[in-house]
Amino acid sequence: MRFLITGTAGFIGFHLARRLLDDGHFVTGFDGMTPYYDVRLKEARHAILERSNGFRAVIGQLEDAAALQQAAELAEPEVIVHLAAQAGVRYSLENPKAYVDANLTGSWNVLELARQCEVKHLMLASTSSVYGANDKVPFAEADKTDEPLTLYAATKKAMEAMGHSYAHLWKIPTTAFRFFTVYGPWGRPDMALFKFAHAIEKGEPIDVYGEGNMRRDFTYVDDLVEAIVRLVPVVPSEDNRVTADGITDTLSRQAPFRVVNIGGGQPVGLLDFIAAIEQALGKPAIRNLLPMQKGDLPQTYAAPDLLRELTGYVPETDVPTGVTKFVEWYRLS
């Protein structure tokens, strides 16, 4: 199949593109190479993808509709996977405009592109952050998402809403998947695992927010990619509405649109996560225990039932295994 993936120089986009290329598909990547973190890491990811004859790349910002149009003409996509975004919860406190530009204007440009290309499936990357102040756990797709705690979460929720409207107006089959704390090799330097490993290796203290009492549904990146790949042929329609007992499908009553959690539903304490890093590195961490930061939640984890019903799959890599794989990559990078 022919895929257009936004964000192929990013952490998740790189892994998804590599998997699809290995499976024999054609991938056109679109990325802005923004300097939110070291661009050399992004360039290294693209360099690996470019070893495949099935990969082509267009460099441009999501806000640049003409650049996206160029990528679409090159790709002639059957499927668009929109992963590119301004990421990072804490950075949204410092530079909110970047989130409005990329996650709102940029996502609207992608929706317009999907309408013009008449794709078979549009897939949008959302986040567990949209659940915001919801105090019910595990988070299920039908739970209320009306109280986002950060601008990042608000822009992702808005993208979901825009996606639903386009799915209804233009009959674009659309799946929005909500990620839960993705980690693994080639991860972003601003993410906790990368920062913790770097500091522990150097014998420097690590900042542990919430005094380590937070729990997260850590999702290993290969498991996330497996789930996305399995969702590609599950094009939202009444033909695949889930009717199993106890499962609430989010397939819209008005549009070919569905929201799906991608998480294993197995929350792990932050201190246990740090212990796995210490074990993999063979070095102890110096912990600097700090209070919760603005926008943080004490606990987030997925109800994975809908994903299981749709794909027969749920992320399964345990934290010690996934962290060890990250450390092996980190020490070679």
Same-domain pairing of 208 and 126: no
CATH number at residue 278: 3.90.25.10
Specify whether 152 is catalytic.
yes
- Domain containing 135 — which CATH number? 3.40.50.720
> What is the tens place of the pLDDT at every residue in 158-203?
999 999 999 999 999 999 999 999 999 999 999 999 999 999 999 9
**Residue 310: inside a domain:** no
Which residues lie across from 121 on neighbouring strands? 79
96 φ, ψ to 5°?
-60, -30
- Judge residue 19's burial from the number of C-beta atoms within 10 Å of its C-beta, 0-12 exposed, 13-18 middle, 19 or more buried: middle
> How high is the pLDDT of residue 269?
96
The residue with greater pLDDT, 92 or 43, is 43
On average, the pLDDT of the chain sits at 95
At 27 the three-state DSSP class reads strand
Average pLDDT over residues 238-256: 94
Q: Which two tokens mark 245?
A: 């007992």
pLDDT in tens, 284-325: 999 999 998 877 778 889 999 999 999 999 999 999 999 999
Q: Contacts by 309-313 with C-beta closer than 8 Å and gap 24+?
A: 309/242, 309/244, 309/247, 309/249, 310/230, 310/231, 310/234, 310/240, 310/242, 310/260, 311/227, 311/230, 311/231, 311/234, 312/230, 313/226, 313/227, 313/230
- Per-residue pLDDT band at 329 (split at 50, 70, 90): very high
Classify residue 69: in a domain, yes or no: yes
pLDDT over threshold 80, residue 83: yes
Residues 162 and 198 in one domain: no
Q: What is the pLDDT of residue 93?
A: 79
Q: Quickly tell me which residue has 């992320």 as its tokens.
A: 315
The active-site residue out of 37, 91, 152, 183 is: 152
Nearest to 121 by CA among 93, 81, 86: 81
